[in-house]
Chain A
Amino acid sequence: MAEGPHLAVVGAGPAGLAAALAAAARGVRVTLVDSAAEAGGQFYRQPAAALGARRPQALHHQWRTWERLRDGLTAHVARGRITHLSDHHVWFVEGQSDGFTVHALRGPEQEQSVAVRADAVLLATGGYEKVLPFPGWTLPGVVTAGGAQAMLKGGLVLPGRTAVVAGTGPLLMPVAVGLAAAGAGVAALVESAGARDFAGHARTLAAHPAKLAEGARYAAELARHRVRIKAHHTVVAAHGSNRVEAVTVAALDGDGRVWPGTERRIACDTLAVGHGMLPHTDLAEALGCRLDGPGVAVDDEQRTDVPGVWAAGETTGIGGAVLSLAEGRIAGLSIAARLNSRTPEAGSYEAAVKARTGLREFFAVLDTVYAPPAHWTEQVADDTVVCRCEEVPASAIREAAGELGAGDVRTVKLLTRAGMGWCQGRMCGPAVAGLAGCEFQPSRRPFARPVPLGVLAGTDFDRHHTDSTDSTDSTEEGSS
């Protein structure tokens, strides 16, 4: 009882860290479970210590915020209030009558599982990039925009000498800036949104001067690196045999169709492409949490509809690091209060709530503005592989939705195997839905990661580790 209630936070990005710090500061014991070697998540991804980076901030924005988070974590870990389990890949969160067990595979081999018992769980699992297919997108050298950035931030490496950055979304500019600053030639930034798409939203955008200034800074840096910005353009194909050698880009017309005759070939050895982000919702769904669109549904305190389970950051909807910090802080304060059977004090997080409201509004606008070309499916050839894992071509998906009469993504998947491979449809889900003319729905994935059957069976590898208080304190105050 003396040690207080126990919270497991899944994910050590901005949301998870903000929540962990807020809860730990109010007496909650926190175990922070994260798949990376260092805290930070995708946004504050750090190079490994062994690389000896003296100025990692050269690849980052909002560095001072990161320093606060990092120093806070270090202090709480030193005082024993937060246990940071790095290199732990959570594959299942089990709801039980007296709390939760978080099951994680220890990386990088992921052949041993450990179990963390907790009274409450915060899911801060973030998001991953959405990429729509086009001819040539499976060639080596074609990477996601976020992937190029992650490899640069974490491994200090570039995929090649000359890159094209393409797709749509607020991620493309920082990726192009990062690649250029690190020495890659960026032949073009190809963005399918155009100035006209922003025009109708001037008021909302103007309410966020800091965000606009950030965009202007990126634009200035791109100009300094002489990166051509091709707005209202799209990549229609990547070319090459064993790796990408060039891409064809074309202008879009007012309806979002490729404008015939505007195709231009650009030589490059790298294409960094992305069409937005999707939330990781697997753990939440296996717990039975309700989703709201693609993200986990939460209330004003970031609570899901499953008692004892909170969610914050991009797992609840895509909105960037600052929104994640606000949501994480709200969640952490709510958890600290609720685990001690109190309601959160009014006013204790007013600023965070205000930031959350504004940023959600702002990102809702961005979501409308940065939309993939309306008719992107027209550029997908019948022989273009859509499901990268199971090598399912577009023709098979079209046949399933046509001749075989499939009317929903699940049936298309069962008929074609699209989405049944290693990645479980994370990469092809939106593409399959678009090509089949069905509504995109996140698929249910009971295991957030592949799990060795020996671990499930509890034979050879499974070495259970439970936190130190598990055996004695299991009857302490339950979750709210």
Chain B
Amino acid sequence: MSDKEPGPELELALLSGRLWGELAGEPGIAAAVEYDLKGGLVVASSAEGLVALEGLADGQRAVGVEAVAVGAGQLHDIEPKLAKGLAGGVLYPQDAQVMPTLAAAHVVRLARAAGASLRTGCAVTEVLRTGAGAVRGVRTSEGEIHAPAVVNAAGTWGGELAALAGTSLPVLPRRGFVLVTEPLPPRTVRHKVYAADYVADVASDSAALQTSPVVEGTAAGPVLIGASRERVGFDRSFSLPVARALAAGATRLFPFLEGVRAMRGYLGFRPYMPDHLPAIGPDARVPGLFHACGHEGAGIGLATGTGHLIAQVLTGKTSDPDLDLDLDLSPFRPDRFPEEGL
């Protein structure tokens, strides 16, 4: 939640964080998904940057986020290998980490145990609708599945699924690269550490390349280094200039990383929405169609809250969603975007 300004997304993050904590409390889950309530540490390199960061933290505190000011003199007590000469930072103890693939696999496992079925390698080719236009299921590469409700959780490809249902959702890919280092001893980098300008990059609308350093360790040993953002469609080619920018940012935060090797890099496409808010809830234009996508880079973190709210809507709280739900869904309305020019 440390990277979110006060508003609906931060509220969703608070709900999701609480639900991740509950899920991690189930027997065996925390270890299986590498859940780690490690805390986020945002650092500022200049006095002006620190003033802006503390202003953000004040607003976050007002809505229930824990944010602890860390003076320049204390930074190395909590994060020993940080660069010298930083102006200070803010520690967010509620920031947690999970391993996304393991988390997904174990959530799917729990869902199957509860009666859900999983079909992989099965592409949706059509959203089936009644004469009146309501959803009645999907046609897939493996046959039809009939259901009165379809949830679009297709991530970066959510716009394509919406189109199959005869409606529109402006989900666009925002490419990001991550560098992965050789394994290091546990807790070499203790928190998720990033520079204050990361918050501005996340909120930016620019299509051009932006990089701001994000550095975090993993349970297995390697350190992950992000984060870049650029809107270049689904271009999968590896960009050395981006990798260089990431390395430069990370070594400025943690100079010891200069001698540490990057073993690999990978890229992905965040599902980007024009106002940086996900689409969650029923689509008023197509009865029976629900959306749960467009979370940009925060999909794993916001997954628990999103799933919880969709479940609440589906289990009968649809008549007046704003009154009954744990969170007001109106900022996430899927049909909030103008149709033209998209």
Is the CB of B342 closer than 8 A to any CB of chain A? Answer: no
A residues in contact (CB < 8 Å) with B: 92, 94, 103, 111, 286, 288, 390, 400, 403-407, 411, 414-415, 417, 420-422, 424, 444-447, 450-454, 456-461
Is the CB of B243 closer than 8 A to any CB of chain A? Answer: yes
Distance (Å) between the CB of B241 and the closest chain A CB? 9
- A423 and chain B: residue at smallest CB distance: B263
Contacts of B179 in A (CB 8 A): 453, 456
Contacts of A453 in B (CB 8 A): 179, 181, 225, 247, 250-251, 257-262
Q: Is the CB of A407 within 8 A of B121?
A: yes
Distance (Å) between the CB of A394 and the closest chain B CB? 18
Distance (Å) between the CB of B175 and the closest chain A CB? 14
Q: Is the CB of A457 within 8 A of B247?
A: yes
With contacts A404-B109, A405-B105 taken as known, whether A450 is within 8 angstroms of B258 at the C-beta atoms is no
Contacts of A461 in B (CB 8 A): 258
Is the CB of B108 closer than 8 A to any CB of chain A? Answer: yes
Contacts of B120 in A (CB 8 A): 405, 407
Is the CB of B118 closer than 8 A to any CB of chain A? Answer: yes
Most chain A beta-carbon neighbours within 10 Å: one of B248, B257, B261, B262: B261
Contacts of B263 in A (CB 8 A): 421-422, 424, 447, 450
10 A-B pairs closest in CB distance: A454-B258, A456-B247, A414-B101, A450-B261, A457-B247, A446-B238, A457-B248, A404-B105, A453-B247, A457-B251
Once bound together, how far apart are the Cα atoms of A445 and B248, in whole Å? 21
Is the CB of B244 closer than 8 A to any CB of chain A? Answer: yes
Q: Is the CB of A424 within 8 A of B182?
A: no
Which of B106, B118, B237 touches A288 (beta carbons < 8 Å)? B237
Contacts of A451 in B (CB 8 A): 261-262
Contacts of A92 in B (CB 8 A): 240
Contacts of B323 in A (CB 8 A): none
With contacts A286-B238, A457-B258 taken as known, whether A446 is within 8 angstroms of B118 at the C-beta atoms is no
With contacts A405-B108, A446-B238, A458-B248 taken as known, whether A452 is within 8 angstroms of B220 at the C-beta atoms is no
Q: Is the CB of B248 within 8 A of A459?
A: yes
Distance (Å) between the CB of A112 and the closest chain B CB? 12
Once bound together, how far apart are the Cα atoms of A37 and B24, in whole Å? 53
Q: Is the CB of B220 within 8 A of A447?
A: no
Is the CB of B183 closer than 8 A to any CB of chain A? Answer: yes
- B219 and chain A: residue at smallest CB distance: A417
Is the CB of B209 closer than 8 A to any CB of chain A? Answer: no
Contacts of B243 in A (CB 8 A): 446, 456
- A424 and chain B: residue at smallest CB distance: B264
Contacts of A286 in B (CB 8 A): 238
Once bound together, how far apart are the Cα atoms of A454 and B101, in whole Å? 30
Q: Is the CB of A403 within 8 A of B109?
A: yes
Once bound together, how far apart are the Cα atoms of A417 and B264, in whole Å? 13
Most chain B beta-carbon neighbours within 10 Å: one of A286, A444, A457, A458: A457
Contacts of A403 in B (CB 8 A): 109
Most chain A beta-carbon neighbours within 10 Å: one of B222, B246, B251, B260: B251
Using A407-B121, A451-B262 as known contacts, list a sample of 5 further A-B pairs with CB atoms less than 8 Å apart, ordered by residue number in A: A405-B108, A446-B265, A450-B262, A451-B261, A457-B250
B residues in contact (CB < 8 Å) with A: 101-102, 105-106, 108-109, 118, 120-121, 179-183, 220, 222, 225, 237-238, 240, 243-244, 246-248, 250-251, 257-266
Which of A414, A420, A447, A457 touches B244 (beta carbons < 8 Å)? A457
Q: Is the CB of B105 within 8 A of A406?
A: yes
With contacts A454-B258, A459-B258 taken as known, whether A447 is within 8 angstroms of B251 at the C-beta atoms is no
Distance (Å) between the CB of A423 and the closest chain B CB? 9
Once bound together, how far apart are the Cα atoms of A456 and B246, in whole Å? 9
- A452 and chain B: residue at smallest CB distance: B261
Contacts of B258 in A (CB 8 A): 452-454, 457, 459-461
Which of A421, A454, A460 touches B183 (beta carbons < 8 Å)? A421
Q: Is the CB of A456 within 8 A of B182?
A: no
Contacts of A288 in B (CB 8 A): 237
Distance (Å) between the CB of A224 and the closest chain B CB? 46
Once bound together, how far apart are the Cα atoms of A350 and B247, in whole Å? 49
- A443 and chain B: residue at smallest CB distance: B264
Contacts of A390 in B (CB 8 A): 220
- A92 and chain B: residue at smallest CB distance: B240
A sample of 10 inter-chain contacts (CB < 8 A) reads A390-B220, A405-B108, A414-B101, A417-B220, A446-B266, A453-B181, A453-B259, A454-B258, A457-B248, A457-B250
Once bound together, how far apart are the Cα atoms of A405 and B102, in whole Å? 11
Q: Is the CB of A454 within 8 A of B264?
A: no
- B102 and chain A: residue at smallest CB distance: A415
Contacts of B181 in A (CB 8 A): 453
Q: Is the CB of B244 within 8 A of A458?
A: yes
Once bound together, how far apart are the Cα atoms of A328 and B154, in whole Å? 46
Contacts of B109 in A (CB 8 A): 403-405
Distance (Å) between the CB of B226 and the closest chain A CB? 13
Distance (Å) between the CB of B238 and the closest chain A CB? 4
Once bound together, how far apart are the Cα atoms of A288 and B266, in whole Å? 14
Once bound together, how far apart are the Cα atoms of A422 and B180, in whole Å? 11
- A451 and chain B: residue at smallest CB distance: B262
Distance (Å) between the CB of A450 and the closest chain B CB? 4
Distance (Å) between the CB of A447 and the closest chain B CB? 6
Contacts of B105 in A (CB 8 A): 400, 404-406, 415
Which of B121, B182, B240, B246 touches A94 (beta carbons < 8 Å)? B240
Q: Is the CB of B182 within 8 A of A422?
A: yes
- A93 and chain B: residue at smallest CB distance: B240
With contacts A422-B182, A460-B258 taken as known, whether A446 is within 8 angstroms of B264 at the C-beta atoms is yes
Contacts of A447 in B (CB 8 A): 262-265
Once bound together, how far apart are the Cα atoms of A424 and B243, in whole Å? 18
Contacts of A446 in B (CB 8 A): 238, 243, 264-266
Contacts of A414 in B (CB 8 A): 101-102
Once bound together, how far apart are the Cα atoms of A424 and B263, in whole Å? 8
Most chain A beta-carbon neighbours within 10 Å: one of B118, B222, B243: B243
- B252 and chain A: residue at smallest CB distance: A457
Q: Is the CB of B101 within 8 A of A456?
A: no
Contacts of A454 in B (CB 8 A): 247, 251, 257-259
Once bound together, how far apart are the Cα atoms of A456 and B101, in whole Å? 28
- A286 and chain B: residue at smallest CB distance: B238
Distance (Å) between the CB of B247 and the closest chain A CB? 4
Once bound together, how far apart are the Cα atoms of A103 and B243, in whole Å? 14
Contacts of B180 in A (CB 8 A): 420
